């Protein structure tokens, strides 16, 4: 579950407006962005979750509206160009929401397309070169994001702990192992992590250490 705030004291209600997102496995459905979901069907996935700072079950029950957004697989296109028309962004390569790649790759599309339009006076030529520069790379990322991507670490932790709380993440998923997973992902999307080729762990962990409180 991902939770993020939108507005405080929404419409002078004294309540905060928040959005939450849950990814679950369900029955195959049509590609519809306005399908209403039943919160009661979601709660069982969290019936054993207890957090000291949030009542997740009540949060779901109190939702003003819940929508079902299906993750739909679209096969990669053979071309993004049709004469003087070109596709980019989600229109060219709709992706599963893994690592913000939808918006990231769309921004790269815009940059490369701009470069090609500046380089060539003929838009049709610029479109063809843009397609050649971007499509194969992005299609490879799209195919990879159909799986778990780097988010496989969530399943690994859940399986290794049987879904129970733990005290030390290093005993469950060592930094070196997590770093290798993330580094493969970064290399795939064209952003290798500095130092990884030299065998250095490039991630980080934080621990609560004993500290002295300093007051004025």
- Looking at per-residue pLDDT, the higher value among 215 and 66 belongs to 66
Classify residue 164: in a domain, yes or no: yes
Q: What is the per-residue pLDDT for 215? A: 43
> Strand, helix or coil at 213?
coil
Predicted structure pTM score: 0.67
Do 173 and 157 form a contact (C-beta atoms < 8 A)? yes
The residues that bridge with 20 in the sheet, in sequence order, are: 3
How do residues 185-212 score in pLDDT, each as one tens digit?
777 777 666 666 655 655 555 544 444 4
How do residues 75-89 score in pLDDT, each as one tens digit?
889 999 999 999 999
CA distances from 212 to 4, 206, 208, 215 (A): 32, 17, 12, 10
Number of residues assigned to the chain: 216
Is 154 found in the same domain as 140?
no
- Looking at per-residue pLDDT, the higher value among 148 and 22 belongs to 22
Is 58 found in the same domain as 30?
yes
CB atoms within 10 A of CB 4: 8
Q: Which residue has the tokens 């496989």?
A: 152
Do 27 and 58 form a contact (C-beta atoms < 8 A)? no
Task: Count Cβ atoms within 10 A of the Cβ of residue 137 and give its class: 0-12 exposed, 13-18 middle, 19 or more buried.
Answer: middle
Classify residue 96: in a domain, yes or no: yes
Q: Which residue has the tokens 């991902």?
A: 2
How do residues 110-156 score in pLDDT, each as one tens digit?
999 999 999 998 999 999 999 999 999 999 888 877 777 777 888 89
> What is the count of structural domains for the chain?
3
- Domain encompassing residue 18: 2-68
* Dist. CA 205–CA 203, nearest whole Å: 7
Q: In b/e form, how buried is each residue of 71-80, taking b as 16+ CB within 10 angstroms?
A: eeeeeeeeeb
Is 6 found in the same domain as 64?
yes
- Looking at per-residue pLDDT, the higher value among 191 and 105 belongs to 105
């Amino acid at each position: 579950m991902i939770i993020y705030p939108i507005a405080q004291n929404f419409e002078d209600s004294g309540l905060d407006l928040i959005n939450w997102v849950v990814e679950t496995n369900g029955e195959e459905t049509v590609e519809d962005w306005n399908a209403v979901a039943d919160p009661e069907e979601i709660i069982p996935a969290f019936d054993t979750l207890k957090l000291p700072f949030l009542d997740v079950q009540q949060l779901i029950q109190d939702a003003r509206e819940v929508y079902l957004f299906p993750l739909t697989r679209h096969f990669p296109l053979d071309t993004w160009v049709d004469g003087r028309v070109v596709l980019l962004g989600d229109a060219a390569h709709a992706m599963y929401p893994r690592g913000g790649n939808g918006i990231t790759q769309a921004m790269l599309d815009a940059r490369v397309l701009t470069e090609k339009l500046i380089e060539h006076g003929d838009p049709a030529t610029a479109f063809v070169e843009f397609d050649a520069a971007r499509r194969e790379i992005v299609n490879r990322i799209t195919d990879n994001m159909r799986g778990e991507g780097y988010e496989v670490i969530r399943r690994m932790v859940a399986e290794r702990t049987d879904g129970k709380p733990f005290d030390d993440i290093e005993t469950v998923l060592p930094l070196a192992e997590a770093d290798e997973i993330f580094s493969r992902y970064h290399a795939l999307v064209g952003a290798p992590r500095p130092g990884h080729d030299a065998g250095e762990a490039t991630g980080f962990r934080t621990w609560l250490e004993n500290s002295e409180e300093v007051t004025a």
